[in-house]
Each structure stands twice: as C-alpha cells, then as structure tokens.
Amino acid sequence: RALLTLPRSAVPAGQSCVQHLSAGAALGTSAKDIADPKAFLSHSASRQNAIGRSTNSNTVAWAKPALRQDCVICDRHPAHLEPVLSSHLWPGQGQELGGSNNLSLLSLGNAFGGLLGKAGAAVNNAMGHGSDEPALDPVVAYPRGAHRATVVWMHGLGDDGPGAYEGLSDVVEAFPHVKFIFPTAPSRPIQMLLGMSKRGWFDIKAIDFEENKEDREGIETSAGIVHDLFAAENQAGMPFHKLFVGGFSQGGAVAMYSGLTFRHNIGGVICCSSYVPMQDTVQDHLGGRRASSVPPIFYGHGKQDMLIPFHYAERSVEFLRQFTNAVTFRDYEGGHTITDLEARHLVDWLEQHLPS
C-alpha cells in the first residue's frame, strides 16, 4: 500500500477516484469527503480492507475500486494500478498529513512495484535479509506543477515513512515542485537492543560503528533500494543529476552510502545526525573519481548527540573531504534530532543545489 500525498487541488469534486469505486453507492461517501483536508485514515485490523473516516461521513469499509482512465488521479498512474485507501497510519489517532498544504491521502494497494517498476519489489522482497516483518510501501509527496527534482528520504531506526514525512513536512512544503519519497524499512532484530525488533535499514551490533562490526549486507541491501528508486525515477524521465538522497540517523548512513556509491552522478546527498558507513567500500568508489563528479553533501549534526557522538561526524567529514570540497558541514546545539535551524539550513542548501 503505497501512500500518496496529493495536493487538495489535485482532487476536484466530481473527479475523485472515490466516485469510481466498483462498490459504487454502497459505500455512501462522496469525493468531497476525501478532498476535505480534515479527512483522515484510521487503522484497520485487516490489511486487506482499509477503513476510511472523515468529519462529514460515517466510518465505511472500502473495497478495491475499478480504475477509470478519465479520473484526474488515475491518469497519473499506469492503468493496472488499483487505488485503495490505506490501512496504515497512526492507529486510532485520527491524525492527518499535510499541514497548511491541505494534503489528501490515497493509497495504491500492493501496487508500488507497478508504480516504480523494480523499486517497489525491492522494498518488499530484497529486504528479506534479517527482517521479521515486511517493509511498508513508501509515502510519496507528489509535486504541484512542474517536477523539478526528486528527493528520497530514509528514516531512522524505529521510525517509518509516515513519521519521516511528518518530521520533514516543513522542508517538503518549501519545495512544491519537488517529489519526495519516504520509504519504510522492515522490522528486524537489532543486536544492540538485545534482539528487540525495530524497523531498520540494517542491524546495529554496537554503538562504536567499527567497520568490522557493521552489518555490511544490510547496508548494501538498503542502498540497493535507493539505487532502484533512482533507476525508476530516471526511467520515468527524471535525469540523474536531479535526484537527491537524504536521511536521519541510520537513514542518513544509508543515504550517504547509497549516494556516494551510485554509478551515476546525482544532485546531492543529505546526512543528518549520522556517519559514513563502510568507508573502505566508499573509498574504493570515490578514489578514482574527479572531485567534480562527487555529489555535493549537506552534513548536519548535534554537538550534544549521545546516540551518534559528534566526533563520528567530524571523522566522517574529514574522510569525505579527501575526495571533495563540496561538503557543507553544520553543527548545532542539541542532541540526536533535526533542529528548526538545521531544517532552515537544509532548505537553503536545497535551494542552492536544486536545478532551475
């Protein structure tokens, strides 16, 4: 179920996919209910049926719809996709995504592989390494108007795509012409947490991040997810130099590794409260490249970070500057978090590096 965040303006009354449900009037909910910015989705015990709920309708169960090519939303996706409302948000909380942008939510049930080709299958199948619960399909914030660039954002340990979207919503809202993709990792046992299962891109064996203790297979597999997303975006018409990858904490490590080892030059890499993993492999990839071919990097880290201590950031930046001078390193008063100031600096950096 790939969650899509769409501008409210993209769901005009009378043209919503809601009106095209094969169950028809039996559902008893109009397009206005879904276009309403106060509409939200609640958790369903069954992942086969989602439950839709809004402020101006009773709770109803949704069936799979029949796709109509004259739908303003359907026209944006391949004809074989089957939109359904999502069963995965914050269970019972009635929260909504979108803030001042009044975003509506739709889901493309079990169809992310169709939307992004190989990438969707990679998220749910390639992550079999060490995982005990499958990944959820990504949250996608689609651009309004011209599509200038795409940013793939990787969440931290224990988080998920919806949570990462919410945490980065101010940055997303600052770039209405940029597509943001927020994948969700599978749940896996984490050795550092005595085997407790958390959603994560790779296992963490120790807090010291020594290379001989790194989950190299997990990092490689997760980097492959990013690379597949890049390939899918490029196949859809987006040049590689307009693709960016970023992440927070564990996601920042995956972003750094995937961005620096990708075979094509991308637009940039964003690393927040993290480090450069598998530096021997990164060095092998960057050692023979011209500095101008290494993507620009934004690196932000809290000086009081107790989870990934600040000196790991300093060492990572020193390592990176062997290969490129295009490293923007910012330190912040605070711990393991993205501060408001860091978010503003990130917006400034993206404005500088996004293609016109």
Alpha helices in 146-242 (DSSP H): 161-167, 169-173, 216-235
Residues 6+ apart with CB under 8 A from 125: none
Residue type, 35: A
Distance between CA atoms of 27 and 62, rounded to whole angstroms? 7
249 in active site: yes
Q: Of 107, 131, 249, 316, which one is the catalytic site residue?
A: 249
Q: Per the residue annotation, which of 155, 301, 336, 353 is the catalytic one?
A: 336
Set 36, 203, 215, 305: catalytic member: 305
Q: Which residues contact 108 (CB under 8 A, 6 or more apart)?
A: 1, 2, 4, 77, 81, 82, 83, 84, 114, 115, 137
Return the half-sphere exposure (C-beta side, CA atoms, 13 A cut-off) of residue 244. Answer: 26
b/e burial code for range 291-314 (CB count within 10 A of at least 16 → b): eeebbbbbbbbbeebeebbbebbe
Distances (CA, A) of 119 to 127, 134, 232, 305: 12, 15, 7, 33
> 171 with 346: CB under 8 angstroms?
yes
**Whole-number Å distance between alpha carbons of 77 and 116:** 10
CA distance 340 to 167: 11
Neighbour-count burial for 154-191, b at 16+ CB within 10 Å, e otherwise: bbbbbbbbbbbbbbbbebbeebeebbbbbbbbbbbebe
Residue positions annotated with a catalytic role: 249, 305, 336
